[in-house]
Amino acid sequence: MDKLVGLGEAGVNVIGEFAKYPQYQCYRIDEQLSGLKKDGFYCVDPQPTTEEYESTCPSFRNFLKGARPEITLVLSGCGKISGMSLALLEQVRDRKINVIYIRGGERRLSKRANLTERATFGVLQEYARSGLFQSFQIISNNSLKDILGKTPVIGYYDALNGLLVNTIHMINVFENSKPVVADYSPISDINRIVTYGFSRFGEKNEENLFFPLDNIRQKRYYFAINKKQLEVDGDINNKIDEYLNQPEQEEIDISYGIYPTNYEENFVYCKVYTNAIQDYK
């Protein structure tokens, strides 16, 4: 997951957070963007409606020609510019596609935004289920907000985007490094609807999902534990067992890896999967 495309303001902001790490190649598409195409900025003409964004979608073939063999599109479904998403995805359908879908609407959505979001969410999920996408990753701003607790108005989106991107990035890093212990079962090809979770490892076995995913089929935990503690602390093993054996999870295929870190605090990241279409809630 290293070629990322942000569509609309939320998408572009999230991409900006990924751009802080050297391993991601970032492409931004929005109105009022300053920056050159060759540097990954594509400024589109503003349109008054979702439909007009759809009908005027330009060709991104040249702009996105380096974004292969796999591409991850980040967007919020309630912005007007999300009207471009299907036309854009059509242009890159020769690649493996992931979508990170941000459910906005922490405050009341306008009627227009609500309709747009409902339609985009439904269509993209069906695409995911029919196998057109490798994954459809749902993130709810409300869930991120609850995890962060009280967040001031200024810097609010930066805080949300920081939590989201840090979690996805850490999981990417872990997936490319060697765990001290791991028992990973393969993710079934049909489980393409996904969300993430993040929590501190310790007292409470909370996992703080980024979207309240229904009918979870598979879960992967990534335990990020202080290296010294892994060497000397006998309790850690028991705590991890307890975490993995929560009784309400019996039906879920759970797997995990344990990774050494130099941080004082210990964290649990998770990625959860289902094949079940999610209600618009």
Ligand X SMILES: Nc1nc2c(ncn2[C@@H]2O[C@H](COP(=O)(O)OP(=O)(O)OP(=O)(O)O)[C@@H](O)[C@H]2O)c(=O)[nH]1
CB of 48 to Mg ion, least distance (A): 12
- Tell me the H-state helices in 22-79: 50-55
Mutual angle of helices 156-175 and 8-18, in 10-degree steps: 50
Closer to ligand X by Cβ: residue 30 or 207:
30
Q: Are 84 and 53 in contact (CB under 8 A)?
A: yes
Using CB distances below 5 to 8 A depending on partner kind, what does residue 41 bind out of ligand X, Mg ion, none? none
Q: Which is nearer to Mg ion, 9 or 17 (CB)?
A: 9
> Phi/psi at 202 (nearest 5 deg)?
170, -115
Among the listed residues 9, 54, 117, 207, the single contact to Mg ion using CB under 5 A: 9
**Which of Mg ion, ligand X, none does residue 6 bind to, with CB < 5 to 8 Å depending on kind?**
none
Q: Is 82 among the residues that bind Mg ion (CB under 5 A)?
A: no
Contacts of residue 58, Cβ cutoff 8 Å, sequence gap at least 6: 44
Could you tell me the two tokens for 87? 């036309």
The item of ligand X, Mg ion, none sharing an interface with residue 105, based on CB under 5 to 8 Å by kind, is ligand X
Q: Pick one of Mg ion, ligand X, none as the site partner of residue 135 (Cβ within 5 to 8 A by kind).
A: none
Q: Which of the choices Mg ion, ligand X, none does residue 117 contact, using the CB cut-off of 5 to 8 A by kind?
A: none
Secondary structure in 3-state letters for 131-181: CCCCEEEEEEHHHHHHHHCCCCCCCHHHHHHHHHHHHHHHHHHHHCCCCCE
Nearer to ligand X, 184 or 280 (CB): 280
160 binds, among ligand X, Mg ion, none (CB under 5 to 8 A by kind): ligand X
In the complex, what is the shortest distance from the CB of residue 29 to Mg ion, in angstroms, rounded to a whole number?
11
Three-state secondary structure call for residue 86: helix
Q: How far apart are CA 121 and CA 136, in angstroms?
A: 10
Q: Residues 118 to 157: which contact Mg ion by CB under 5 A?
A: none
With H, G, I as helix, E, B as strand and everything else as coil, classify residue 84.
helix
In the complex, residue closest to Mg ion by CB: 9
Residues that bind ligand X (CB under 6 A): 8-10, 13-14, 30, 76, 78-82, 102, 104-106, 141, 157, 160-161
Residue numbers at the binding site for Mg ion (CB under 5 A): 9
